[in-house]
Chains A and B, each alone.
Chain A
Amino acid sequence: GQQVMQIPQYQHVQEGEDFTTYCNSSTTLSNIQWYKQRPGGHPVFLIQLVKSGEVKKQKRLTFQFGEAKKNSSLHITATQTTDVGTYFCAGNKKAAVNKLTFGGGTRVLVKP
């Protein structure tokens, strides 16, 4: 079945530094979505990418969808303590648009 992998599993970042988390699918995706889950909370939708090679920005967050629509990345600049949480990517497989498969998540800890 479809697998969505995220690396790294854990990311310890010094406040103010940048980092990138990566998402890779074993199959081509129709779209990819990113969610953030704060400790003790529920996942909250951040963004959806649909087009091959698409890049979207939300303030300090930059999301990219690969040309082959099998991978994606999230880059955060000037990390802040509010960025703490787990970032999940989730993909819709082309042949199964009703089913969203979540990656394992990247748990981000910020050192002040």
Chain B
Amino acid sequence: GAVVSQHPSRVICKSGTSVKIECRSLDFQATTMFWYRQFPKQSLMLMATSNEGSKATYEQGVEKDKFLINHASLTLSTLTVTSAHPEDSSFYICSARYRDNSPLHFGNGTRLTVT
């Protein structure tokens, strides 16, 4: 089946530093990748939609300069949390699909803790 790899699984960083999270589709080409944020015991909040070779589309209220998304190829998207602050601590999950309306395949998620 379709596999999406997300790295790192956990990261602890100091306030003010930047953190990069990678999301790779291992056995299929993902036309679209999505980045979600999930707070404890809550649903998935879509942050942005990433299409290969074009700028990401950010959801309302998500700062594009803070959450930089790069979709360099059909198998790789990265999310960089810039100048991280404790309130950015959360569970970030990427997902990928190979065409519109096809199911999403999620990465294992990255638990970010900003101290």
Known: A88-B43, A102-B43, A103-B43. Is A42-B101 also a contact (CB below 8 A)? no
**C-beta contact mask, B76-112 vs A, less than 8 Å → 1, else 0?**
0000000000000000010100001101111111000
CB of A79 within 8 A of chain B?
Answer: no
CB of B54 within 8 A of chain A?
Answer: no
CA distance A29 to B86 in the complex (A): 37
B32 touches A98 (CB 8 A): yes
Residue of A nearest to B103 (CB): A45
How many interface residues does B have (CB within 8 Å)?
A: 19
CA distance A88 to B93 in the complex (A): 15
Q: Name the one of A45, A92, A100 contacting B105, with C-beta atoms under 8 angstroms.
A: A45
CA distance A100 to B107 in the complex (A): 16
CB of B46 within 8 A of chain A?
Answer: yes
Chain B residues whose CB sits within 8 angstroms of the CB of A43 once the complex forms? 44, 93, 95, 104, 106
**C-beta contact mask, A5-38 vs B, less than 8 Å → 1, else 0?**
0000000000000000000000000110101000
**B98 shortest CB reach to chain A, Å:** 13
CB of A104 within 8 A of chain B?
Answer: yes
A42 touches B108 (CB 8 A): yes
CA distance A56 to B46 in the complex (A): 27
Q: Name the one of B32, B43, B100, B108 contacting A104, with C-beta atoms under 8 angstroms.
A: B43
Interface centre among B103, B104, B105, B106 (most CB of A within 10 A): B103
**A58 shortest CB reach to chain B, Å:** 14
CB of B49 within 8 A of chain A?
Answer: yes
Interface centre among B46, B100, B104 (most CB of A within 10 A): B104
Q: Name the one of B43, B49, B103, B106 contacting A42, with C-beta atoms under 8 angstroms.
A: B106
A30 touches B43 (CB 8 A): no
**C-beta contact mask, A86-112 vs B, less than 8 Å → 1, else 0?**
001010100001111111110100000
**Could you tell me which B residues sit within 8 Å of A by CB distance?**
32, 34, 41-44, 46, 49, 93, 95, 100-101, 103-109
Q: Which 4 A-B pairs have the closest CB atoms?
A: A45-B103, A42-B106, A104-B43, A102-B44
- A sample of 5 cross-chain residue pairs with beta-carbon separation below 8 angstroms, ordered by A number, consists of A42-B107, A42-B108, A43-B93, A98-B32, A102-B44
